[in-house]
Amino acid sequence: MADEITDYDFAASLQTDEAIAVFLSDAFETGDANHIATALEIAVRAKGEARIASKEGMPEEGYDLDNPTLATLLAVMKALGVGFSPMPVRPAS
Protein backbone atom coordinates (compact mmCIF):
# COMPACT_ATOMS: atom_id res chain seq x y z
CA MET A 1 0.00 0.00 0.00
CA ALA A 2 1.35 3.44 -0.93
CA ASP A 3 1.77 6.09 1.72
CA GLU A 4 -0.30 9.22 1.30
CA ILE A 5 1.79 12.30 0.62
CA THR A 6 0.70 15.48 2.37
CA ASP A 7 1.94 19.03 2.11
CA TYR A 8 4.26 20.15 4.87
CA ASP A 9 3.40 23.50 6.44
CA PHE A 10 6.63 25.25 7.42
CA ALA A 11 4.62 27.75 9.48
CA ALA A 12 3.65 25.00 11.92
CA SER A 13 7.31 24.45 12.84
CA LEU A 14 8.00 28.14 13.56
CA GLN A 15 6.80 28.29 17.14
CA THR A 16 9.31 30.70 18.71
CA ASP A 17 10.69 34.11 17.84
CA GLU A 18 14.14 32.53 17.63
CA ALA A 19 12.94 29.95 15.08
CA ILE A 20 11.36 32.71 12.98
CA ALA A 21 14.55 34.79 13.17
CA VAL A 22 16.73 31.88 11.99
CA PHE A 23 14.24 31.00 9.24
CA LEU A 24 14.17 34.59 7.94
CA SER A 25 17.93 35.00 8.29
CA ASP A 26 18.47 31.96 6.08
CA ALA A 27 16.03 33.38 3.53
CA PHE A 28 17.72 36.79 3.47
CA GLU A 29 21.13 35.16 2.97
CA THR A 30 19.94 33.80 -0.39
CA GLY A 31 19.48 37.32 -1.75
CA ASP A 32 16.50 35.97 -3.73
CA ALA A 33 13.55 38.37 -3.45
CA ASN A 34 10.96 35.68 -4.24
CA HIS A 35 12.42 33.33 -1.62
CA ILE A 36 12.47 36.13 0.96
CA ALA A 37 8.85 37.08 0.18
CA THR A 38 7.76 33.46 0.55
CA ALA A 39 9.64 33.15 3.85
CA LEU A 40 7.99 36.33 5.15
CA GLU A 41 4.57 34.99 4.20
CA ILE A 42 5.31 31.74 6.05
CA ALA A 43 6.54 33.63 9.13
CA VAL A 44 3.45 35.86 9.11
CA ARG A 45 1.24 32.75 8.89
CA ALA A 46 3.16 31.26 11.82
CA LYS A 47 2.43 34.30 13.98
CA GLY A 48 -1.05 34.88 12.58
CA GLU A 49 -1.86 37.46 9.91
CA ALA A 50 -4.52 39.19 11.97
CA ARG A 51 -2.12 39.46 14.92
CA ILE A 52 0.64 40.97 12.74
CA ALA A 53 -1.74 43.42 11.08
CA SER A 54 -3.26 44.55 14.38
CA LYS A 55 0.17 44.97 15.99
CA GLU A 56 1.18 47.40 13.26
CA GLY A 57 -2.22 49.03 12.78
CA MET A 58 -2.65 47.66 9.26
CA PRO A 59 -5.72 45.95 7.89
CA GLU A 60 -5.12 42.21 7.54
CA GLU A 61 -5.28 42.42 3.76
CA GLY A 62 -3.56 45.83 3.71
CA TYR A 63 0.00 44.77 3.00
CA ASP A 64 1.60 43.09 0.02
CA LEU A 65 4.48 40.76 0.84
CA ASP A 66 5.06 39.89 -2.83
CA ASN A 67 6.42 43.37 -3.43
CA PRO A 68 6.41 45.23 -0.09
CA THR A 69 7.51 48.79 0.44
CA LEU A 70 10.43 49.22 2.81
CA ALA A 71 8.02 50.67 5.39
CA THR A 72 5.80 47.57 5.15
CA LEU A 73 8.79 45.23 5.32
CA LEU A 74 10.12 46.93 8.45
CA ALA A 75 6.67 47.03 10.08
CA VAL A 76 6.02 43.34 9.43
CA MET A 77 9.48 42.33 10.63
CA LYS A 78 9.01 44.38 13.80
CA ALA A 79 5.65 42.69 14.41
CA LEU A 80 7.34 39.32 13.88
CA GLY A 81 9.85 40.25 16.58
CA VAL A 82 12.89 40.30 14.29
CA GLY A 83 15.26 43.02 13.16
CA PHE A 84 16.91 43.86 9.90
CA SER A 85 20.72 44.07 9.93
CA PRO A 86 22.77 44.59 6.76
CA MET A 87 26.11 42.82 6.60
CA PRO A 88 28.96 42.70 4.09
CA VAL A 89 28.46 40.47 1.09
CA ARG A 90 31.29 38.26 -0.03
CA PRO A 91 31.97 38.34 -3.75
CA ALA A 92 31.10 35.15 -5.62
CA SER A 93 34.08 32.88 -6.24
Residue 64 lies in a domain: yes
Q: How many angstroms separate the CA atoms of 53 and 36, rounded?
A: 19
Domain residue limits at 22: 10-80
Q: Would residue 29 count as lying in a domain?
A: yes
Does a structural domain hold residue 74? yes
pTM for the full predicted model: 0.75
**pLDDT of res. 26:** 93
Q: Is residue 93 situated within a structural domain?
A: no
Using CA atoms, how far apart are residues 23 and 54, in angstroms rounded to an integer? 23
In this structure, is residue 88 part of a structural domain? no
Q: Convert the pLDDT of each residue in 1-56 to its tens digit.
A: 678 888 888 898 998 889 999 999 999 989 898 898 899 999 998 988 777 767 76
Residue 70 lies in a domain: yes
- The reply to whether 46 falls in a domain is yes
Domain count, the chain: 1
Cβ–Cβ < 8 Å for 24, 43: yes
pLDDT at 85: 81
* Residues 8 and 70 sit within 8 Å (Cβ to Cβ): no
